[in-house]
Amino acid sequence: MSSANLQSNTFEVSDTAEAIEFYYDKGWTDGLPVVPPTEASIRAMLDAAALDPGQEITYIENRQVSVTAEKVAINAVMAGCKPEYMPVVAAAVEALGDPRYGYHGPATSTGGSAVFMLVNGPIARELDINCGDNLFGPGWRANATIGRAVRLVMRNVIGTLPGKLDRSTLGHAGKYTYCIAENEAESPWPPVHVERGFRPEQNAVTIFAALAPHQVYNQLSNTAEGVLTTIADNMRISGSVTSQPQYVVVIAGEHMRVIADDGWSKADIKRFLFEHTRNSLAHLKRTHRVAGPVQPEDEATMRPLVQAPDDILVVAAGSKAGAFSAFIPGWGGKNASQSVTKEIRRP
């Protein structure tokens, strides 16, 4: 436990209700009430991750901002996190500063992305991070508050304020929180963090600059090829189409079983989706996504939606019931921002 003094300015208020209004007045909330951060609650957050208040979690080059553990802890308290969530929040904030994520682009762009967070490893079950029913909906404290804490850090510490340094034209609800876990217990496939070189018993968080989830219906097919043909058809024209972002594809329970029963691996899914989401240059021109008149050879010139099959992250999650899956287009293009996985370190 660190005994170092907290460095932040403090304010005295008469009660919790006054504190909530004070944080609104200061412009320090996402529009929802926050939990007032006190010394005890901030220290509990730091202790749960064995962090010193002054420790730098990440550095945001474009903003010249050092994000300290103390500020992350304050915002995590405000978001409603339990102290044991703090290592997940800290790992996600660390990932924000990774050059591969390229914070400035997705955070400020008119393209309006959110920070999608996927938690893998035993910690997801220990913290009850939802990977099942109502996957992207409300009802789970960990999902609701871990993602919210990261957004509050972006707002309050890094200065990513809507209309100022966040110029999103539309944005989406994932900017409040966008945190899920993979259903490792029931998945027939290796989890994302293992695909990326971690051991199954390690804990990791993957962040991804993401647009909103798109639900795909296929209540008809009982083959992997059938289900994935439908998913590919929905994906083909989505996101920024011509700039090749990465994608997340969330395969939910019934589709998971259909695909696994046919013996398809995650690599098979990625390869099939890569091959079946290409667009003809002629179509992109006819629909005004690429400039210029259609040339005869454009009909047979195919443009892949992503750069490579591994740019589609396949995640097993969602309810057991219902023949739906989802895909999430990434922001911009992979050259500007890509998903980043960091280990979640606990004392």
Which residues lie near another protein (CB under 8 A)?
A: 6, 8-16, 19, 22-23, 28, 36-39, 42, 62-68, 71, 74-75, 78, 102, 104-106, 108-110, 152, 156-159, 291, 332-333, 335-337
Shortest distance, position 6 Cβ to another protein, whole Å: 7
Shortest distance, position 34 Cβ to another protein, whole Å: 8
* 157 vs 232, beta carbon nearer another protein: 157
Whole-angstrom distance, CA of residue 332 vs CA of residue 109: 9
- Tell me the sheet residues that pair with 316: 251
CB atoms within 10 A of CB 166: 22
C-alpha distances (whole Å) from 39 to each of 52, 163, 242 are 14, 32, 49
Shortest distance, position 105 Cβ to another protein, whole Å: 3
Shortest distance, position 277 Cβ to another protein, whole Å: 22
- Burial class for 93, CB neighbours closer than 10 Å (0-12, 13-18, 19+): buried
Long-range contacts of 53-56 (CB under 8 A, 24+ apart): 53/2, 53/4, 53/5, 53/6, 53/7, 54/4, 54/7
The phi-psi region of residue 330 (left if phi > 0; otherwise alpha if psi is between -120 and 50; otherwise beta) is beta
Shortest distance, position 14 Cβ to another protein, whole Å: 6
* 16 vs 222, beta carbon nearer another protein: 16
* 67 vs 114, beta carbon nearer another protein: 67
Q: Residue 307 phi/psi, 5° resolution?
A: -70, -35
* 156 vs 206, beta carbon nearer another protein: 156
* 132 vs 333, beta carbon nearer another protein: 333
Shortest distance, position 7 Cβ to another protein, whole Å: 10
For residues 279 and 145, is the Cβ–Cβ distance under 8 A? no
* 16 vs 223, beta carbon nearer another protein: 16
